[in-house]
Chain A
Amino acid sequence: MLLMFALSPFLVLGGGALLLMLAEVFSRRPSGLAIGTTIVFITSGAFSVALWLYGIEFLPVGILSPWILVDKFTLFFNVLLCLGGALASLLAGGYLVEYKLNRGEFYSILLFATFGGMMLASAGDFLTLFLGLETMSLGAYALTAFRRASPRSAEGALKYFLLGSFAAAIMLYGIALVYGATGSTDLARVGAAFSHGVVTSHPMALIGLVLIVIGLLFKVSAVPFHMWTPDAYEGAPTPATAYMAVVVKSAAFAMMLRVLLTSFGDAESMSWSAGWPPALAAIAVLTMTVANLIAGRQDSVKRMLAYSSIAHAGYLLVGVVVALRSKEQAAAGVIFYLATYTVSTIGAFGALILLGSYGKEAVSYDDLAGVGKRHPAIAMAFSLFLFSLAGVPPTAGFFGKWFIFRAAMDSGFYWLTILAFINSVIGAYYYLRVLVFMYMREPQPGAAIAVPMQSRHVKAALLLSAVFVLALGLAPTCTLDAAIAAATTFRM
């Protein structure tokens, strides 16, 4: 019974997804599905919180090890992924109805994909990790292709699917090589083999490590593995874009932290002279710079937000590099950043959804001209989320960046911190450009004007995200303490 309790977040999510699938085919009106999905997400998140408060040390989670590790790291990510999923399904509740895409499969896929994401965050073995990765990715491919009538949607989904399965194959090959060298797929045992110098006796372990890191970097869409991101994010229906930018990316970073710090966290693999941190540092700089420079040149706000999510992956990678000095500090910084990033990004995409309606979508910067006067409330919410993404105090994004940059300074990466700081200043340019268009421009005479949709779902999602952004910005202590507690999983 206690074991069922330990697995309850998974059981609720999986059972809820199956129930919604049945509800969809037996009811002719799929109107309540969005609320139902949100309730399932919230229930699963609540069970995770209950587990945290109950204390996992009192639960028989040992027999699940190493397949599923139920620790504080897992529970924090369960809550984070469920929060992202709940907000995304609220956005979908408004968007899908407005654009006449309202088919219940969207919600089931959302739940199944999040189930995969939670499995990814909790996997302690390469096999369950791969299973979770594929469950999540297949859902994301289907969500991208959900606008069936749109060629862009199909194009984005096909690119995402082909490159994604290729990256999965590369990662699987890496796992096979590491298994060949160490004789185990258990993350902890692989880590033990690496710390006993398996690389010197089996050079293929090193190749395996490189291939696995490539697979991880693809999933978090770091440059130069980012090519699929703008097309997939632009083609997907906007709630699915928000979902991928938030939930898929968070789960991928959870997997990255767990794999790098548990399996490849020995002194040699993490050294500056012979390990993965210098490679990740170079990729972090490349990711931030390339994404920020391209994002500034976009005409489509949705595409700009896609590049912005790549740039944020760069800042997060800076946080991962800090593991060189302190695994715990690195994990805590990345986890907290992901929490702030989740609420800000969902909010920004939500505001973009709310500003358009069927046939009168808000896509480009020009569509946003004069929105500040016509719809001051939405413009204000949008500005709040963009300030948070840019990292302006007192919003959530400021503290996210601050903890990562401070951790990088503490570890002695002054040049990396300076580069990240310069990049966040460049980033502010294109976030503030949206504000310039909203408040200081008037629409061209005769141009089509985007009309906001009327949806309580989307408004509720925006309100919730705004509350979270302000709460994390004004009182970050509670969440930060939780993030630090979650990071103790990686204590040596």
Chain B
Amino acid sequence: MLSTYAPMFMIIAIATLIAGLFYTFATVLGPKNPTPEKMMPFECGSDSVGSRGVKLSVKFYLTAILFVVFDIEAVFVYPWAIQFRQLGWFGLASMIGFLSVVAIALVYVWRKGALEWES
């Protein structure tokens, strides 16, 4: 069974070899002439301003997480809608159960004020 993968391993080995060779030759043979300007971090050609860490408001994360929750909901509802007739009452009951749980989560999030941007 492993022999099926032999060509893949060979490609990986050859690719590593070639990349490694180029990198080594470039480091060993290439001319080096470092100046302070060359060693600076490159930022659109202008000097860097400010510190690296930017504090993002937690609101962005909250919005992203809530988006994922309701996005996943759509992912589950869509195939159910396609197969609506075949799944019948059992599918309908399951989906109502699922949607009501998500609806309760929405009520919770709403009352907690997580949907307010300004506060």
Residue numbers of A with Cβ under 8 A of B are: 18, 21-22, 25-26
B107 interface contact, C-beta 8 A: yes
Task: For residue B42, give the distance in angstroms from its CB to the closest CB of chain A.
Answer: 33
- List of B residues within 8 angstroms of A22 by Cβ: 104, 107-108
- List of B residues within 8 angstroms of A18 by Cβ: 101, 104
Task: For residue B29, give the distance in angstroms from its CB to the closest CB of chain A.
Answer: 42
Interface residues as binary, B95-114 with A (CB distance below 8 Å gives 1, 0 otherwise): 00000010011011001100
Q: CB within 8 Å of A: which of B66-119?
A: 101, 104-105, 107-108, 111-112
Contact B111 A26 (CB under 8 A): yes
- Max chain A Cβ within 10 angstroms of own Cβ: one of B101, B107, B108, B112: B108
Task: For residue B107, give the distance in angstroms from its CB to the closest CB of chain A.
Answer: 7
| Cα A21 to Cα B100 with chains together (Å) | 13
Task: For residue B74, give the distance in angstroms from its CB to the closest CB of chain A.
Answer: 20
Known: A22-B104, A26-B111. 7 other contacts (CB 8 A): A18-B101, A21-B104, A21-B108, A25-B107, A25-B108, A25-B111, A25-B112
Query: Which range holds the interface residue count of chain B?
Result: under 10
Task: For residue B14, give the distance in angstroms from its CB to the closest CB of chain A.
Answer: 27
| Cα A21 to Cα B107 with chains together (Å) | 10
In the complex, residue of chain A having the shortest beta-carbon distance to the beta carbon of B113: A25
Task: For residue A10, give the distance in angstroms from its CB to the closest CB of chain B.
Answer: 12
Task: For residue B52, give the distance in angstroms from its CB to the closest CB of chain A.
Answer: 21
In the complex, residue of chain B having the shortest beta-carbon distance to the beta carbon of A24: B108
| Cα A22 to Cα B105 with chains together (Å) | 9
Task: For residue B49, give the distance in angstroms from its CB to the closest CB of chain A.
Answer: 31
In the complex, residue of chain B having the shortest beta-carbon distance to the beta carbon of A25: B111
Q: CB within 8 Å of A: which of B26-72?
A: none
Task: For residue A200, give the distance in angstroms from its CB to the closest CB of chain B.
Answer: 14
Q: 5 closest Cβ contacts across the A-B interface?
A: A25-B111, A18-B104, A21-B108, A25-B108, A25-B112
In the complex, residue of chain B having the shortest beta-carbon distance to the beta carbon of A108: B108
- List of A residues within 8 angstroms of B112 by Cβ: 25
- List of B residues within 8 angstroms of A25 by Cβ: 107-108, 111-112
- List of A residues within 8 angstroms of B104 by Cβ: 18, 21-22
Task: For residue B111, give the distance in angstroms from its CB to the closest CB of chain A.
Answer: 4
In the complex, residue of chain B having the shortest beta-carbon distance to the beta carbon of A203: B1
Could you write out 5 A-B pairs with CB less than 8 Å apart? A18-B101, A22-B104, A22-B108, A25-B108, A26-B111
| Cα A26 to Cα B112 with chains together (Å) | 9
- List of A residues within 8 angstroms of B108 by Cβ: 21-22, 25
Task: For residue B102, give the distance in angstroms from its CB to the closest CB of chain A.
Answer: 11
| Cα A25 to Cα B113 with chains together (Å) | 10
| Cα A18 to Cα B101 with chains together (Å) | 8
| Cα A22 to Cα B111 with chains together (Å) | 9
| Cα A21 to Cα B108 with chains together (Å) | 7
Task: For residue B97, give the distance in angstroms from its CB to the closest CB of chain A.
Answer: 10
| Cα A90 to Cα B113 with chains together (Å) | 29
In the complex, residue of chain B having the shortest beta-carbon distance to the beta carbon of A204: B1
| Cα A444 to Cα B108 with chains together (Å) | 50
- List of A residues within 8 angstroms of B107 by Cβ: 22, 25
| Cα A391 to Cα B108 with chains together (Å) | 46
Task: For residue A128, give the distance in angstroms from its CB to the closest CB of chain B.
Answer: 15
- List of B residues within 8 angstroms of A26 by Cβ: 111
| Cα A18 to Cα B108 with chains together (Å) | 10
- List of B residues within 8 angstroms of A21 by Cβ: 104-105, 108
In the complex, residue of chain B having the shortest beta-carbon distance to the beta carbon of A14: B101
| Cα A459 to Cα B50 with chains together (Å) | 56
- List of A residues within 8 angstroms of B111 by Cβ: 25-26
Task: For residue A385, give the distance in angstroms from its CB to the closest CB of chain B.
Answer: 37
Task: For residue A138, give the distance in angstroms from its CB to the closest CB of chain B.
Answer: 13
| Cα A401 to Cα B107 with chains together (Å) | 48
Task: For residue B46, give the distance in angstroms from its CB to the closest CB of chain A.
Answer: 37
In the complex, residue of chain B having the shortest beta-carbon distance to the beta carbon of A21: B108
| Cα A486 to Cα B108 with chains together (Å) | 39
Task: For residue A183, give the distance in angstroms from its CB to the closest CB of chain B.
Answer: 15
| Cα A18 to Cα B112 with chains together (Å) | 15
| Cα A22 to Cα B104 with chains together (Å) | 7
| Cα A18 to Cα B99 with chains together (Å) | 13
Task: For residue B27, give the distance in angstroms from its CB to the closest CB of chain A.
Answer: 35
Task: For residue B28, give the distance in angstroms from its CB to the closest CB of chain A.
Answer: 39
| Cα A21 to Cα B101 with chains together (Å) | 11
| Cα A147 to Cα B9 with chains together (Å) | 50
Task: For residue B86, give the distance in angstroms from its CB to the closest CB of chain A.
Answer: 18
| Cα A21 to Cα B110 with chains together (Å) | 12
| Cα A25 to Cα B105 with chains together (Å) | 11
Task: For residue A361, give the distance in angstroms from its CB to the closest CB of chain B.
Answer: 29
Task: For residue A199, give the distance in angstroms from its CB to the closest CB of chain B.
Answer: 15
Task: For residue A278, give the distance in angstroms from its CB to the closest CB of chain B.
Answer: 29
| Cα A22 to Cα B107 with chains together (Å) | 8
